[in-house]
Structure 1
Amino acid sequence: MDGSLRLAELVGRPLLGRHEEAVGRLSDVIVRLRGQEHPLVTGVVGRLGRRREVFLPVTQVARWGTDHVALTSGRMDVRAFDRREGEVLLRADVLGHRLVDVREAEFVRAYDVLLEPVGDGWAVTRVLTRRRRGGPWRRRAGGGREEGWRDWKSVEPLIGHLPTVAGRRVLGRLGRLRPAGLADLLEEANRAESQEILGAVGADPELEADVFEELEPDARARLFRDWPDGQVAAVLGRMGADDAADAIGGLPQERRRPVLDALGAKQRLRVLTLLGFHPSSAGGLMSLDVLTAPADRTAEQALRSVRDAHSLQPEALSSLFVTAEGNRLTGVVPLVALVQAAPSHPLGDLADTDPVRVGPDTDVEDVALLMTDHNLLVVPVVGDADEILGVITVDDVLEVIVPRDWRQRARAPHPSPRPDASRTEPHTPPASP
């Protein structure tokens, strides 16, 4: 058969030898992943009798067809098929399984695969998928399903074959996703899917920490449940202290102390400080990473400090806090004021000397109202002597006051600068009934 082939038309078809003698049936098609390129077909799995499966190299396939697959010879190695590292079985691993749509950061289910000739061989070019309209966020709204063909390059398969997974401990197309998108996938994934996604994400420890910061508490606790204390502590050590404190609070009581003891001394002290405040208070919500400077520091020097503050959240850098002896808060300078000021201008002349501030026991809802009233992106948390303890950013507040089920809501369509040609139906004959 010339042109493209649909996997569903091939599976189960007779395998005929050189003299058209029946030697078995096609059970599966084997491809090898090639990073960002379309996977090449390397062979097929033939079924002899009811159970025995054997390997046939693609070079032994003389012609593909929807009625039968012709072989160059009826001779074959009758040893039982032994899958090798890096091999993907299209029927066993892809058909009926969920893939990751890396553009939409959601799961889709594969219902067919398109094979097309490339050079001297064949490659997987497209996959027929079905997904809920609006994605997993429409679960409670009923949703519906959309079906269409898309380029294989736009999805990431979750193979499940342990040697292949171990050999793919690189991010691949999952590396295009932001931490929040990966967190969304993990929250919907089953156990096997979670393990494979985490295996890929774990190749980048910093990304892994960012993903765990984005996870809902229940999902994070579920994933940590099967991890040893040292592995949990390694991830928490790379997270912000406020997020790490939240994560430890979500662990079973008997695991909290062992995980704390496994943390580095600096992170352990920061986490213990935050755990001393009520979770719904300003102290429990604040981040300990604050950019401060004395009043005699110049705008140029302050901007240099901002550029060097790589470990701080970008949201926390929207303002610089002016402090005096004892880390006492004396003023705040918005970042835009620093950028617009003359380089030699001292911070003391640029600062608002009566900044809005909250105490560590302030209720988080009061913090939200205060930030709304004053249009603040960040608010400092101070102690009894006005010493600055930490800061609360607007995204920290939103995570607390937005309803917990916000992810269930329908999200806006993903903007696209041009029509997505990969979702059009390929010109292939209809599948055989």
Structure 2
Amino acid sequence: MTESTTVGEHTGPEATTISLSDLLRAPVVASAGETIGRVVDVTVRLRGPDAYPEVTGLVAAMGGRRVFVAARTVDQWRPGRVTLTGNAVDLRSFQRHDGEVLLRADVLGHRLIDVAAAELVRAYDVELEHTGRGWSPVRLDTRRRPRFFGLFGSNDVASVRDWRSFEPLIGDGRSAAARRVAGRVGALKPAQIADLLEDADRAEGFEILDRVRSNPGLEADVFSELDSDKASQLLDGMPDADVAGLLGRMRADDAADAIVDLRQSRRLRVLDLMPAPQRVKVTTLMGFNPDTAGGLMNTDVTTCAATATAGEALAVIAAATTLAPEALLKVHVLDEGAHLVGLVSVIALLQSEPATAVVALMDSDPSRVDAAVDLADVALLMADYDLYLVPVVDDEDRVLGVVTVDDVLQATIPEDWRRREPAPRAVRAARYPS
């Protein structure tokens, strides 16, 4: 380990490093040589996802109190010793400021989001480096040491990685706004965010949700991917109005599942607060057994009249911006009485002239099921006929909804398969210019 020299306005070697573990409990020494305290933490200011945080100072234990020592008053940072430029310090008790992060209290032993792997990892040590303009935390060690708190003697490069590979996930409210700025959680896929939530504890879960709340559509998609127990736990911590707004943005079948998992005392309150069209869809779905086509279906479907042309049918698809993409694979063709008379695929419509009649392109005898058909029978039907979706109809062939292949997969794949640990993969340490 190379020792550092002076910082701030002083000059020193180009690439000096210190581990946080070598600073904690180190003596704070006045310029005259007297030990006046010991390091208990290091303070930093976050500067966004593409920049290293800036070390602003340290917290030292002095005479039974904790005081702040500004970085500009530190002459030398060395493993096991911090030397000041003078002999006096401000003895007022340390008070955390908004946006301030404490490396030991907030990072060490806490979990962060590994953005590339989309998983939560725990930080066991931090490497500080002198960048030429000051000190910054530049690397994290995410592997627990079995016997001692040493840091960078390990050859396990996968566990020692660039600070910027991670998204801070720290519980202190005074740094929440600074942590939210990065915004990289919102770039993950809904299923990846759901996996993070299912691995998170309660405090971590609400912080992750706070990162996606600015994108209501993404938040709804994330809840659609959550297992029922975790979704219920998170919904229990939200006000009724927020729950109703969230469920109002979800697919009706997913919202119905979430409503059923709410405490019975909340269901009616939340339903009453939901937008009327969504409430009707949800209450309709709640009337079906969840293991049947009716309980599984999505009530949002695309339809056109039997008199429509290919161009008009494509316009219906183009206008259906709120529907899930898998529900747009085929258009349901209805007669004047709203009975199902055929299905036409998007591919057939795209490959035809706009003026072509839909009835000339449609399957006039499509597979369909009634709402009481068991999930297993729906799955077998789709497998036997290579179907991506199946209409659900009533006794008069009026369309109630549609079951899509993703619904069937989600319902039939065992839960322990869906959430099993991924195969180990090598993590390449990112290289960033200093």
Give the deviation of 1:413 after TM superposition: 5.2
Instruction: Name the CA shift for 1:423/1:368 in 2 (closer, same or farther; >3 Å).
Output: farther
- What is the aligned partner in structure 1 of residue 316 from structure 2? 305
Amino acid at match of 1:294: A
Aligned counterpart for 2:430 among listed residues 417, 422, 428: 422
- What is the aligned partner in structure 1 of residue 37 from structure 2? 24
**Over residues 49-75 of structure 1, what are the superposed CA-to-partner deviations in whole Å (9 max), with x where a residue is unaligned?**
3x4111111111111101311111232
- What is the aligned partner in structure 2 of residue 7 from structure 1? 20
Aligned counterpart for 2:340 among listed residues 329, 349, 360: 329
Aligned counterpart for 2:251 among listed residues 240, 243, 265: 240
SS of equivalent residue, structure 1 residue 172: coil
- What is the aligned partner in structure 1 of residue 186 from structure 2? 175
Instruction: Name the CA shift for 1:130/1:347 in 2 (closer, same or farther; >3 Å).
Output: farther
SS of equivalent residue, structure 1 residue 293: strand
Aligned counterpart for 1:47 among listed residues 61, 66, 71: 61
1:5-404 matches, cutoff 5 A: 5-36=18-49, 37-49=51-63, 51-130=64-143, 148-166=159-177, 168-170=179-181, 172-404=183-415
SS of equivalent residue, structure 2 residue 167: strand
Instruction: Name the CA shift for 1:359/1:350 in 2 (closer, same or farther; >3 Å).
Output: same
SS of equivalent residue, structure 2 residue 105: helix
- TM-score under structure 2 length normalisation: 0.89
- What is the aligned partner in structure 2 of residue 141 from structure 1? none
Alignment check: 8 A CA contact 2:224 2:254 kept: yes
**Over residues 122-152 of structure 1, what are the superposed CA-to-partner deviations in whole Å (9 max), with x where a residue is unaligned?**
2222111139xxxxxxxxxxxxx99611111
Alignment check: 8 A CA contact 2:57 2:68 kept: yes
**Over residues 62-101 of structure 1, what are the superposed CA-to-partner deviations in whole Å (9 max), with x where a residue is unaligned?**
1110131111123221111110111111111111111111
SS of equivalent residue, structure 2 residue 33: coil
Give the deviation of 1:307 after TM superposition: 2.4
SS of equivalent residue, structure 2 residue 66: strand
Amino acid at match of 1:88: V
SS of equivalent residue, structure 1 residue 127: strand
The alignment of Structure 1 onto Structure 2 pairs a total of residues equal to 407
The CA distance in 1 between the partners of 2:390 and 2:181, in whole Å, is 39
C-alpha RMSD of matched pairs (Å): 2.0
The CA distance in 2 between the partners of 1:148 and 1:62, in whole Å, is 31
Unaligned ranges ≥5, structure 1: 132-144, 425-433
Moved more, 353-362 or 288-297: 288-297
Alignment check: 8 A CA contact 1:86 1:163 kept: yes
Alignment check: 8 A CA contact 1:96 1:110 kept: yes
Give the deviation of 1:408 after TM superposition: 4.0
- What is the aligned partner in structure 1 of residue 151 from structure 2? none
Alignment check: 8 A CA contact 2:310 2:352 kept: yes
Alignment check: 8 A CA contact 1:150 1:423 kept: no
Q: Percent identity?
A: 51
The CA distance in 1 between the partners of 2:107 and 2:362, in whole Å, is 60
Alignment check: 8 A CA contact 1:170 1:203 kept: no
Amino acid at match of 2:71: V
Give the deviation of 1:117 after TM superposition: 2.0
Give the deviation of 1:167 after TM superposition: 5.2
- What is the aligned partner in structure 2 of residue 411 from structure 1? 422
The CA distance in 2 between the partners of 1:207 and 1:408, in whole Å, is 20
